[in-house]
Amino acid sequence: MEPAQEKPDTESPPPAPMAEAMRWVSLITTVGLEMVIPILVGTWIDKSWGTSFAVWIGLVIGPAFGFWHLMVLTRVQGPGTGKVKKTEDR
């Protein structure tokens, strides 16, 4: 048996441009849906139950959660490198 070859400490190659683009598209879509879905659920609840307050709750919770998630994403993202930094590294 041959001994296992150890790989030198080098960084992995950067992701392909299309992979990076699809990653950003998925993040943007996720944040957008996080903002819109609570509003739609609130509208559905109002129509189903005959109330008028659930859409307002969705209007507050949806964008608040979406903006919070956007802030988390931008805080973790490294500046211009496309790499995700660990929160312990800060």
One digit per residue, the tens of pLDDT, for the chain of length 90 reads 566 666 666 778 888 999 999 999 999 999 999 999 999 999 999 999 999 999 999 999 999 999 999 999 888 655 665 555 555 554
The rounded distance, in Å, linking the Cα atoms of 72 and 63 is 14
Q: How many domains does the chain have?
A: 1
Q: Within a domain: residue 9? A: no
Task: At 6, give phi and psi (nearest 5°).
Answer: -85, 135
The rounded distance, in Å, linking the Cα atoms of 70 and 27 is 9
Q: Within a domain: residue 41? A: yes
Q: Within a domain: residue 65? A: yes
Q: Within a domain: residue 35? A: yes
Q: Within a domain: residue 70? A: yes
| The two three-digit tokens of residue 37, written as one number | 């879905």
Which DSSP category does 8 fall into? P
Q: Within a domain: residue 66? A: yes
Q: Within a domain: residue 17? A: no
Range of the domain at 70: 25-78
Q: Within a domain: residue 59? A: yes
